[in-house]
Chain A
Amino acid sequence: NAGVTQTPKFQVLKTGQSMTLQCAQDMNHEYMSWYRQDPGMGLRLIHYSVGAGITDQGEVPNGYNVSRSTTEDFPLRLLSAAPSQTSVYFCASRPSTGPATYEQYFGPGTRLTVT
């Protein structure tokens, strides 16, 4: 049981490049989300999904796209990287029912630098 996995761990992009951050979970969780963490800002929600085929925007969605074709995978796409997107990105999942609802499991993070 690997939990939540993310790739890559580190990435450097040039302004304007695009890329996809991968996220997968093997806990059969319906709810998945992407956060970015910046110093002094806390974790901010980018996009989330309540199940396969359903996605919605969080508080900072601009410049990012997501899709959810399976329960397990939730990739995050940066369309045209900007220096303001330099951050640490965390993918998370949690069950949507039961006593552990709202208890999030995070992946190890992707450190992204945009130059």
Chain B
Amino acid sequence: RKEVEQDPGPFNVPEGATVAFNCTYSNSASQSFFWYRQDCRKEPKLLMSVYSSGNEDGRFTAQLNRASQYISLLIRDSKLSDSATYLCVVRAGGGNKLTFGTGTQLKVEL
């Protein structure tokens, strides 16, 4: 089983839609969780950290479910500019290593 798994998509949604992605992780000792955004042929950029209590940043909401070992990203009122690949990143407890998922591709259409 991969350490971090994501549905590759693509998720094709109309502008204004709400879309959610999940990411599962295998190491129950994982301690830090992040969502990164990567545009086509560009570098990954941090979108948001994921806190235990869940957190929101504008149209984006991230949640952590430790019991089921997954994190989620919810995007409300999708914009064309949200089209990108979203990478889930997990840090196992006690170490420096960050493990990246392969990403979920989102395409927002008119």
Collect the chain A residues with CB atoms within 8 Å of residue B98's CB.
45, 102, 104
Name the one of B32, B44, B49, B97 contacting A106, with C-beta atoms under 8 angstroms. B44
Q: Complex formed: what's the CA distance from A44 to B87 in Å?
A: 13
Size class of the B contact interface (CB-based, 8 Å): 10 to 19
**A-B contact count, CB below 8 Å?**
41
What residue in chain B is nearest A96 (Cβ atoms)?
A: B96
Judge if A61 is at the interface, Cβ distance under 8 Å. no
Collect the chain B residues with CB atoms within 8 Å of residue A107's CB.
43
B84 to A: closest C-beta gap in Å? 14
Q: Complex formed: what's the CA distance from A43 to B45 in Å?
A: 13
Asked if B43 and A90 sit within 8 Å, CB to CB, the answer is yes
Asked if A106 and B103 sit within 8 Å, CB to CB, the answer is no
- Interface residues of A, Cβ cutoff 8 Å to B: 31, 35, 40-45, 48, 50, 58, 90, 102-109
- Interface residues of B, Cβ cutoff 8 Å to A: 4, 8, 32, 34, 42-46, 49, 87, 91, 96-98, 100-103
